[in-house]
Structure 1
Amino acid sequence: MSPKYMKMLSAMFDGSVTSLEVFFLTLIFSIPLALPIALGRMGKDKVLSWITNIFLLVIRGTPLMLQLLVVYFGPGLFVRWLVSMGFDVSFRWDRFTAAIIALSVNYAAYFAEIYRGGIESIPKGQYEACQVLGYKRYQTFFRIILPQVIKRIVPAMGNEVITLVKDTALVSVIGVSELLMVAKERQGALFSFAPLFIAGVFYFVMNWFVSIVFARLEKKLNYYH
């Protein structure tokens, strides 16, 4: 294999590692963050529910690419404005960190709505039965309700996670050198379709793996039938 193609494969390996880091870090932060958002949306506090609803509307109603740009460039512009007002402020923003924050907040909003649908699908009679048996509210939620919710939301969560695999390519808009960005650069340098083909195979294999994981998870949770 020629040195050019060896260099291409090395660069694409590094890009794939970055894509995997973005993928897993987004899941680690967004999945737990979604639960308090969902509970805030469903809570009896009307002010909190209204604020959460507006937040969800903004996040779900604007493009992820725009959110990436806002998260990355927004703080710097705000600091410039403070400096122009006479404040002595400095700020340094990391592209990768900005990408993780934007993706985590975006996917937390979508996961929160999935959680909400799962929680509201549980019959009220189960809450009443737990109350009669003397369960406290947190015991009812975490021991009785949440396990059933997890079973019901697995298919919808799987769809969102598959979408996340592909959305990792969007972080290139703020200069994060992930797989697709590297593939485009190498395609131009080599005048070859091979880098894009390799990137396509990577995304396909990743989504195949995610599909298998969620299929097995759904099968393991069948005892709730």
Structure 2
Amino acid sequence: MSMHYVMEILPSLFQGAGMTLKLFFWTLLGSLPLGILVSLGLTSKFRPLQWLLELYVWLMRGTPLLLQLIFVFYGLPIVGIVFQRYDAALFAFILNYGAYFAEIFRGGFQSIDQGQYEAARVLRLSYGQTLRKIVIPQVVKIVIPSIGNEVINLVKDSSLVYVIGLGDLLRAGNVATARDVTLVPLLLVGLIYLILIGICTFILNKVEKRYSYFK
């Protein structure tokens, strides 16, 4: 493995990594709020809404993300709904991870003692203030380990976008491997994934320490 060859293929790998990070960032930005909203709906007393959201979570968690990507990009155009490759990937990822985050947050919300809601009403806090100032900070502390696992899975799951021809990190490595008949690009891809996951783990540990005062 010559350093000259490594430097030659790194730009294309970094370009693929940029697409991976872009998908990762916007998926988190969309799926976390979606998960919180869906979890609140799952714990609501309005049964039709609860049933509808349970169906959504069941479908997203019960079918492979790869199948969902294929359905969004190749299946929806049959009924006139057409996405560009990146938009299709982002849409499928947000829906999928939103469902997983919803279940995680639902468990967090249900772990909060009802007495805290009653105390908030005594203090004349609105429902929104109760969630924002009392409940959500505690829920975040509770769900951080589970959220962290999903965040790490998201880094790796981003490689699935190859199925719709999106130029992510793994696709860039596969192209270089097939062209040059060497496993060096894939070894570099693995190294880059390890670095990305290491960074995510470091940040998550910092966030967990930030919320440790809720112990």
Q: TM-score range by the shorter chain?
A: over 0.9
What code does the residue aligned with 1:133 have? L
Aligned positions of 1:179-194 closer than 5 A:
179-194=169-184
Evaluate the alpha carbon distance shift between residue 76 and residue 7 of structure 1 in structure 2; reply closer, same or farther with a 3 A threshold: farther
Unaligned segments of structure 2, at least 5 residues: none
For 1:209 and 1:2, the matched residues in 2 are separated by 25
Alignment partner, residue 35 of structure 1: 36
Q: 2:109 aligns with which of 112, 115, 119?
A: 119
Question: 1:121-175 CA distances to partner (integer Å, 9 max, x unpaired)?
Answer: 0111111111122212111111111111111111111010000000000011111
Q: C-alpha displacement at 1:64, in angstroms?
A: 0.2
Q: Which of 169, 185, 207 lines up with 1:195 in the alignment? A: 185
4+ aligned runs moved over 4 Å, structure 1: 1-7
Distance (whole Å) between structure 2 residues aligned to residue 92 and residue 148 of structure 1: 41
Identity of aligned residues (%): 38
**2:76–2:82 CA contact under 8 A, matched in 1:** no
Residue of structure 2 equivalent to 1:65: 66
TM-score by length of 2: 0.95
After superposing the two structures, state which structure 1 stretch, 57-66 or 138-147, moved more: 138-147
Task: Give SS of 2:211's match.
Answer: helix
Bigger radius of gyration: 1
Structure 1 residue 36: Cα displacement: 1.2
Distance 2:7 2:178 in 1: 16
The one-letter amino acid of 1:69's match is: I
Please state how far the C-alpha of 1:75 moved relative to its aligned partner: 2.3
Residue 44 of structure 1 corresponds to 45
Partners in 2 of 1:159 and 1:179 — Cα distance?
Answer: 21
**1:133 aligned to 123, 132, 156, which one?**
123
Aligned to 1:8: 9
Q: Which runs of 5+ in 1 are unaligned?
A: 80-90
CA distance in 1: counterparts of 2:11 and 2:18, whole angstroms: 11
Q: 1:2 to 1:61 in 2, by over 3 A?
A: same
Count of residue pairs brought into register by the alignment: 214
Residue 75 of structure 1 aligns to a residue whose secondary structure is helix
Match of 1:223 in 2: 213
Aligned partners of 1:46, 1:135: CA distance in 2, in Å? Answer: 26
Counterpart CA distance in 2 for 1:10 and 1:53 is 44
User: 2: CA distance between counterparts of 1:2 and 1:221?
Assistant: 44
